[in-house]
Amino acid sequence: NAGVTQTPKFQVLKTGQSMTLQCAQDMNHNSMYWYRQDPGMGLRLIYYSASEGTTDKGEVPNGYNVSRLNKREFSLRLESAAPSQTSVYFCASRRGPGSETQYFGPGTRLLVL
Amino acid sequence: AQTVTQSQPEMSVQEAETVTLSCTYDTSESDYYLFWYKQPPSRQMILVIRQEAYKQQNATENRFSVNFQKAAKSFSLKISDSQLGDAAMYFCAYRSPNYGGSQGNLIFGKGTKLSVKP
C-alpha cells in the first residue's frame, strides 16, 4: 500500500517552461489537495478536489491549473513557470466527509531558474 | 478567516527531557479539528496527533500529548522523553468542519523547528 505518491521528486525548469506534477493515491480517497511550502511560510493550499470531477481554488491558485483525472489521480500544471514558483509541492488526500485526517505525499522540489 | 500562529520559530530540548510547542488559532466557529504534523528532514509530512474541538479530553499518542484550551484558542503539543528522532519541523494545523466551503482544507502555522540535543 503506497499511500500518496508524487512524481517527479525534483525538477529544474527555466522561466517560461511548462510542466505537470503528478499525484496518485491508492487509498480510495475522495478528496485531494495540492499545497506549496516556502521557507518560513508553512504550507499553503493551491487547489483542491473535493471529489472526482470537481476542483476548486485554494489560497494561492494563480499560475497553476489542476486536473482530477480520475478518483486516484490529481495533477498540478504550471503553464509558464516563474521563479516565484520555486517551492516544495505536496499532494494530500482525505477519505471524505466524516474522515478528518489528510495524508501527504513525499513532496516535489521544484526549482525555476 | 481562520489563522494559526506558532510563536516559537525554533526550540531545543535535551534528550529524555520534556518540551512543549505552542500553537494558537483564531476562529469564530465552535466545532473544528486541530492537528500537529511532524516534518523530518526527509520532508515527509507525518500526522502526530489530532484533536476534535467538541471533545474536552486532551488527545494523547504515546509520548505525545496536547493541552487543548478551547476558550483561550490554544493547542500546545507536549513531547515527553524526547528522542533524537523527534528532531523535525512541527506544524500546527486547523480544519473547519464547513464542508460546503472549505471542503476539509487545512490551515497551517509557520512551523517550529525542534532540535534534540544528545
Q: Check residue A29 and give its pLDDT.
A: 93
Q: B106 and A50 in contact by Cβ < 8 A?
A: no
Q: Check residue A40 and give its pLDDT.
A: 79
Report chain A residues touching chain B, CB-CB < 8 A. Answer: 31, 33, 40-45, 48, 50, 56, 58, 88, 90, 92, 94, 96-97, 100-104, 106-107, 109
Cell (9 digits) for B56: 474536552
Give the CB-side neighbour count of residue A97, counting CA atoms within 13 A.
Answer: 5
Among A41, A90, A94, whose Cβ lies nearest the Cβ of B45?
Answer: A90
Q: Check residue B102 and give its pLDDT.
A: 53
Q: Check residue A108 and give its pLDDT.
A: 96
Q: A106 and B99 in contact by Cβ < 8 A?
A: no
Cell (9 digits) for A30: 475522495
Task: Kindly list the averaged pLDDT for each block of 10 residues, start to end, along chain B of length 118.
Answer: 91 97 93 93 91 89 95 96 96 78 77 96
| Rounded CA separation B23/B13 (Å) | 18
Q: Which amino acid is at B5?
A: T
How does strand A74-78 pair with strand B10-14? unpaired
Contact of A76 with A6, CB cutoff 8 Å: no
| Rounded CA separation B76/B67 (Å) | 5
DSSP classification of residue B86 = G
Lateral strand order in the sheet of A65-68: A4-7, A19-25, A74-78, A65-68
C-alpha torsion B32→B110→B64→B114, nearest 10:
180
Q: Check residue B99 and give its pLDDT.
A: 55
Largest CA-CA distance found in chain A, in angstroms, rounded: 42
Q: Choose from B52, B105, B108 for mutation: most chain A CBs within 10 A.
A: B105
C-alpha torsion B80→B81→B85→B89, nearest 10:
30
C-alpha torsion A15→A19→A25→A28, nearest 10:
120
| Rounded CA separation B88/B41 (Å) | 7
Among B47, B104, B108, whose Cβ lies nearest the Cβ of A42?
Answer: B108
Q: Which amino acid is at B49?
A: I
Contact of A45 with A59, CB cutoff 8 Å: yes
Q: A45 and B50 in contact by Cβ < 8 A?
A: no
Task: Kindly list the averaged pLDDT for each block of 10 residues, start to end, along chain A of length 113.
Answer: 90 97 95 92 90 91 95 96 97 84 93 96
Q: Check residue A1 and give its pLDDT.
A: 63
Which sign, positive or negative, has the C-alpha torsion A10, A52, B92, A104? negative
Q: Which amino acid is at B15?
A: E
Q: Check residue A41 and give its pLDDT.
A: 78
